[in-house]
Amino acid sequence: MPTCALSLSTFSRMPYPALAHLAREAEDAGFSGVYVPEANNDAMLVAYAIAKATSRIIIGTRVINIHLRSAITCGAGALMLQEESGGRFVLGLGVGHRALLKPLGIEMGNAREFLRRYMELLVPILNGGAIPNFPYQFRPAPQRIPVFFAALALGTARLAGELADGLMLYMCPPDRMRIMIDAARNSAAKAGRGPETVSVTMGLPVFLDDHLDAAYAAARRDLATYLGLQFYNRIWAASGFEAEAKRGLDAAERGDRAAVGAAMTDAMIDAVALVGPASRCLARLEQYRNQGAITPVLVSHAVHGDYLSAVRENIRVFAPAK
């Protein structure tokens, strides 16, 4: 099987040593990378623990919220991770969501312009250069650090093509994914960069179970939050589910989580996730590969049982080395 990567989440409240052990299992099974989301954790520290527990696998953040970490702190952490991992680190950056930043007293403003300014500070740090009027200089990483942008909108995909090494996409139908990739690569060409240098990771929620109805129910439970977030909601609306997306967003704004889940149809779930028996999930994964997903990143969800069991089952089913 062609290579793919694994996302390891701290939402399950698993002990960090257990996450590092799962990363070793993924490495031994032949997965190309392990990526760490950031929500109720410090993704840099989790990535560091994984780096120390592994020896070959790529380690990435998916993604660092740039509103929660200054460019200087982010750059210094990335330099250390690249050195400690022996050149295996990938820095994924994202702008977050207004609904999640507002409770922290953070105003997002113009997200893409903030990301552009962030990169203007970050790139000199990663390259060991100097920041104007800043008294300290950073030593460069022993190997170059690839920077990827999380992108849900075409404008962010274009910015990635101009400034970054790749895209980190999530919950995006294959046709929409292809549009995002083309936008980034066309932008790279306009910026005088080689379009083929823009790489792509595609995050795919996985609800693996022999009983399709149970898998759909678990997906409805776990994906309802995303239907209530403006950026993800727009992806569904732009992918042929405009009425359903509106119902879900209206329900989320009322605080009616049950109604958000009820607004999500099986077709909406199938558009963005791998759901059901292994053969069905593997076939859907191949559709993403055919549309340009260079590195599919599997995001494990438990249908029955716990998160640890779900991750290990995904390692078994999708292992490139099997």
Place of tokens 């390891």: 8
The reply to whether 72 and 93 lie within a common domain is yes
Q: Are residues 249 and 190 in the same domain?
A: no
Q: What is the pTM of this model?
A: 0.94
Structure tokens at 66: 């740039």
End-of-domain residue from the set 254, 272, 290? 272
Number of domains in the chain: 2
The verdict on 215 and 203 lying in the same domain is no
Question: Do 203 and 262 share a domain, yes or no?
Answer: no
Torsion of CA 93, 99, 102, 104, to 10 degrees: -70
Containing structural domain, residue 135: 5-207+277-318
Q: Which pLDDT band, with edges at 50, 70 and 90, does 133 fall under? A: confident
Tell me: the pLDDT tens digits for 212-235? 999 999 999 999 999 998 889 999
Q: Is residue 75 domain-shared with residue 50, that is, in the same domain?
A: yes
CA distances from 76 to 31, 70, 128, 226, 274 (A): 27, 10, 10, 31, 36
Regarding whether 67 and 145 lie in a shared domain, the answer is yes
Average pLDDT over residues 122-148: 89
Residues 76 and 129 in one domain: yes
pLDDT bucket at 1, cuts 50 / 70 / 90:
low
**Residues 256 and 285 placed together within one structural domain of the fold:** no
218 and 296 housed in the same domain = no
51's tokens:
């780096």
Which tens digit of pLDDT belongs to each residue from 13-71? 788 899 999 999 999 999 999 999 998 889 999 999 999 999 999 999 999 999 999 99
Do 188 and 154 fall into the same domain?
yes
pLDDT (tens digit per residue) in 181-214: 999 999 999 999 999 999 999 999 999 999 999 9
Q: Are residues 15 and 57 in the same domain?
A: yes
- The domain spanning residue 292 has which CATH number? 3.20.20.30
Answer yes or no: do 262 and 120 share one domain. Answer: no
pLDDT of residue 74: 96
Residue 322 has pLDDT above 70, yes or no: no
